[in-house]
Amino acid sequence: MTPETPFQPLFEPMQIGPVKAPNRFYQVPHCTGMGHALPQTLAAMRGMKAQGGWGVVCTEYCSIHPSSDDHPHPFASIWDEGDVRNLGLMTEQVHAHGALAGIELWHGGTFVSNLASRQATLGVRSMPSRTEPIQSQRMDMRDIRQLRQWHRAAALRAREAGFDIVYVYPTHGYLISEFMSRSLNQRNDAYGGSLENRLRLTRELIQETREAVGDRCAVAVRFSADGHGDEHLSAAEAHDAIGMLGALPDLWDVVVSDYYGLEMAGSRFAKEAALESKVAYVRQLTGKPVVSVGRFTSPDTMLRQVKSGVVDFIGAARPSIADPFLPTKIREGRYDDIRECIGCNICYAHNFRGSALRCTQNPTMGEEWRQGWHPERVPAGPNQSVLVVGAGPAGLEAAMVLGKRGFAVSLAEAGGEMGGRVSRESRLPGLAEWARVRDYRVGQINRMANVALYLGSRLSATEVQDFAADHVFIATGSRWRADGTGRTYAAGIANLEHARVFTPDDLMEGKIPQGRVTVFDDDHYYMGPVLALLLARSGAQVSYVTCEGQAGAWSHYTGEQEATHAGMLAAGIKIFVNTVVSSYVDRNLELSCVFSGNTSAHQADALVLVTSREPNDALYRALVGEDPDPGATSIDMIGDCAQPALIAHAVYAGHKAARELGGTPASGHLARDRLIV
């Protein structure tokens, strides 16, 4: 990088107490779905980010004691010497690339139920658990002293494990923030009442953590700049609290109170740098380095944040997952090579589901250790030709990876544009940023002389055979079913007037019904709610029917369900929950309660079925039949034509097939992680 490069300020070192970060790129604590159970997987993933140029790389929330057990959700822990050795794997890999390693010490308080440890859930008062029919135990002075001892012991173990930054974590509703709450904290001792008293525990933990780690580690505090809601800690009180505590930590990691609606919001609901107006005051108030997030993907936005004094460090979770090498690419001026986060929150959803996180944009995420995948490197391939049929997410990813490996690639697309379902879906309300899945891959492919693109090329089985490629990948996608087949009706809805039935494909192709339109959502993710919004904005009177208890119920895992439901209500959409469509004939729609079976009659000029998809596998079947010969020419299905699923699944399938082509045949065996004890 030359001194004239405009982004040079992002690569200037920054002192954080006794340690120095090599640059301003800071991977803040974020969940992984790996936690204490997958130490090798976790270490390799974090280490990859350090290799990619992130100057600080942190853990997820890390439990300090068995009374903070978030089972079945995977979480990190630092309870004993075994945890020290496990976490030491991470610090070693992070340090190997010159980055600092941070650890977020955490006690969940009433948020956890301790299903595995069976210890009492602790809280500032006895309140119901967020997930189980139990309540927390009110902490007395002995419990507070124990908590302080546990926290100090965890800080000492963190130092032993090699961490450079140790967090105190009084936010996001966990135990320490319970003490700050006016409504929860009803104590009449030195830890309750005034704001100063409610901050006492936070102050003590910061001071005791500093005493424990000495001049070896920096102390960071993660704090909500606008409080925790007026009933707990108002924005004015948060401002005062930061002023009162400002000089104590070495760094402030600043978040906001609206976790799902703003801090972690998907791109459907919040754009880049959405936190700026709420966090900008912290740096001036404290005089200490500040880091904050904003799903930053634009180098220009990052530079503006630093130069204007909003933050000292560009905080990132999701962008660092989508592209672990984002800092390196900015440093080298390779801006078009950045895999920009699309804000789909599939990463978060899989941690929420208890599995290692994954990413729509980055199919190597979580596979760094168990499959040895690198996000920027693929093995060279043999001098052979490959025909990829279909330029949706699976076909584009396969063609791109094959091109990087050196194969002679022909990519044939039946339609007039690249991207398949990604292109169609990105034109729906709120999904514009999802087009980055297409744009990144098309941009990469367009620079490869060994990859030829053919639009408007619908190939028959004979034409595929006549092409005489060494290998063929069929990536022809899928179509939404028009008969109602799905989770509720395995054989479809018996009584349908098909002339008035529409599918998501119809709407994405511009066939927009008018009048009274009912959407039956048996898919439960984004498609049904997004189409309902599309119809409402087109002037239709929209009803939305789902057999679940909420609109877009699966989007609970992506953190988008509440905003989804609220947005539909605001658009005037009538929502029927715990209900299914049982028949639709001559504008007469019959709805049935999933519990009682009671029916009700409604009028609808059109019915949109969002139920399931039919794989477009006819070309593959015509080529190989129903019993493929393993010794025949290499012909494989990838993506939705093999398994209709999320876009992330299609990208992963294309990547895996292309990465492994010409090597050892995949056996399905994956390296299994083991705890160090």
pLDDT in tens, 22-76: 999 999 999 999 999 999 999 999 999 999 999 999 999 999 999 999 999 889 9
Q: What percent of the chain has a predicted confidence (pLDDT) above 90?
A: 92
Closest-CA residue to 192 (of 202, 204, 180) = 180
Looking at residue 429, its pLDDT comes to 97
Q: Are 249 and 205 in contact (CB under 8 A)?
A: no
- Cis, peptide link before residue 72, omega less than 30° from 0: yes
Is 496 contained in some domain? yes
| Cα pseudo-dihedral 458, 427, 351, 269, rounded to 10 | 180
Q: Which positions are catalytic?
A: 174
Q: Are both 342 and 256 inside the same structural domain?
A: yes
Q: Are both 102 and 44 inside the same structural domain?
A: yes
Q: Are both 265 and 327 inside the same structural domain?
A: yes
Q: What is the mean pLDDT of the chain?
A: 95
Position 669 pLDDT exceeds 60: yes
Is 243 contained in some domain? yes
Strand, coil or helix: 453: strand
Position 498 pLDDT exceeds 90: no
Which band of pLDDT confidence, cut at 50, 70 and 90, is reported for residue 632? low
Average pLDDT over residues 339-355: 93
Pairing of strands 14-16, 19-21: antiparallel
Looking at residue 497, its pLDDT comes to 81
Q: Are both 322 and 185 inside the same structural domain?
A: yes
List of residues 6+ apart from 645 with CB closer than 8 A: none
β strands within 181-324, DSSP E = 218-224, 251-255, 290-292, 313-316
Rounded-to-integer distance, Cα 46 and Cα 54, Å: 10
> SS3 string of 209-254?
HHHHHCCCCEEEEEEECCECECCCECHHHHHHHHHHHCCCCCEEEE
Which band of pLDDT confidence, cut at 50, 70 and 90, is reported for residue 354? confident
Q: What letter represents residue 273's amino acid?
A: A
Q: Are both 295 and 406 inside the same structural domain?
A: no
Rounded-to-integer distance, Cα 418 and Cα 475, Å: 12
Crossing angle of the two packed helices 561-570 and 527-537, in degrees rounded to 10: 20
Which band of pLDDT confidence, cut at 50, 70 and 90, is reported for residue 121? very high
Position 665 pLDDT exceeds 60: no
Position 4 pLDDT exceeds 80: no
Average pLDDT over residues 511-518: 98
Rounded-to-integer distance, Cα 107 and Cα 202, Å: 12
Q: Are both 573 and 641 inside the same structural domain?
A: no
Q: Are both 337 and 448 inside the same structural domain?
A: no
Average pLDDT over residues 445-462: 97
Torsions phi, psi for 84 (to 5 deg): -60, -45
Q: What letter represents residue 84's amino acid?
A: V
Of 613, 630, 645, which closes a domain? 613
672, two tokens: 């299994």
Looking at residue 272, its pLDDT comes to 93
CATH code at position 437: 3.40.50.720
| Cα pseudo-dihedral 193, 212, 250, 205, rounded to 10 | -10
Position 270 pLDDT exceeds 60: yes
Position 118 pLDDT exceeds 70: yes
Q: Are both 460 and 539 inside the same structural domain?
A: no
Average pLDDT over residues 255-272: 92
CATH code at position 548: 3.50.50.60
Q: What's the chain's length in residues?
A: 677
Q: In terms of pTM, does the model score above 0.85?
A: yes
Q: What is the CA radius of gyration of the chain?
A: 27
Is 290 contained in some domain? yes
Rounded-to-integer distance, Cα 431 and Cα 98, Å: 37
Position 2 pLDDT exceeds 50: no
Position 116 pLDDT exceeds 80: yes
Looking at residue 626, its pLDDT comes to 83
Which band of pLDDT confidence, cut at 50, 70 and 90, is reported for residue 3? very low
Instruction: Say which range, 488-497, 502-511, 558-567, has the weakest mean pLDDT.
Output: 488-497
Rounded-to-integer distance, Cα 126 and Cα 618, Å: 60
Average pLDDT over residues 288-308: 96
Which band of pLDDT confidence, cut at 50, 70 and 90, is reported for residue 1? very low
Q: Are both 106 and 179 inside the same structural domain?
A: yes
Rounded-to-integer distance, Cα 437 and Cα 654, Å: 13
Looking at residue 668, its pLDDT comes to 58
Q: Are both 623 and 498 inside the same structural domain?
A: no
Q: Are 153 and 136 in contact (CB under 8 A)?
A: no
Looking at residue 324, its pLDDT comes to 98
Average pLDDT over residues 437-465: 97
> SS3 string of 329-390?
HHHCCCHHHCCCCCCCCHHHHHHHCCCCCCCCCCCCCCCCCCCCCCCCCCCCCCCCEEEEEC
Alpha carbon of residue 574 to chain centroid: 29
237, two tokens: 């009180």
Q: Which domain holds residue 625?
A: 385-477+616-660
